[in-house]
Structure 1
Amino acid sequence: MSVVTDEFVQLSENQKLVRNSIQDICDNFDHEYWRERSAAGEYPTEFVDTLSEQGWMGALIPEEYGGAGMATTETVVMMEEIAASGGGFSAAQAIHGGIYNSVPLVKYGSEEQKERLLPDIAAGDTSIQAFCLTEPNSGSDSTSIETRAEREGGEWVISGQKIWTSRLDVSDYAIVVARTTPKEEVEKKTQGISMFLVNVADAVEQGGLEYDQIDKTASDFVHSYSVYFDDLRIPGENILGEKGDGFYQVLDGLNEERLVIAAECLGLGRLAIDRGVQYANEREVFDRPIGKNQAVQHPLADVYARLQSAKQMTYNAAEQGEDATDLGALANMSKYLASDAAFEAADAAVQTHGGFGIAREYDVERYFREARLTRLVPITQQLVLNYVSEKVLGLPRSY
Structure 2
Amino acid sequence: MPADKSTTPPLPFIPFTRPHFDEATIEAVSEVLRSGWVTSGPKLAEFEAALSAYFGGRPVRCFANGTATMKIALQVADIGPGDEVITTPISWVATSNVILGVGATPVFVDIDPVTRNIDLNKVAAAITPKTRAIMPVYLAGLPVNMDQLYALAKQFNLRVIEDAAQAFGSTWKNQKIGSFGDLVSFSFQANKNLSTVEGGCLVLNNIEEAQLAEKFRLQGLTRTGMDGMDVTVLGGKDNLTDLNAVIGLHQLKHLPAFQARRTALARQYFAAIPQAMKDANIEHLALELAVENFTESNWHMFQVVLPLDQLNVSRAQVMTELKELGIGTGVHYPCITTFALYQERGYAVAATPIAERIGRAILTLPLFPGMADDDVSRIAKALAGVLKNHLKP
TM-score by structure 1 length?
Answer: 0.26
Greater helix proportion: 1
TM-score by structure 2 length?
Answer: 0.26
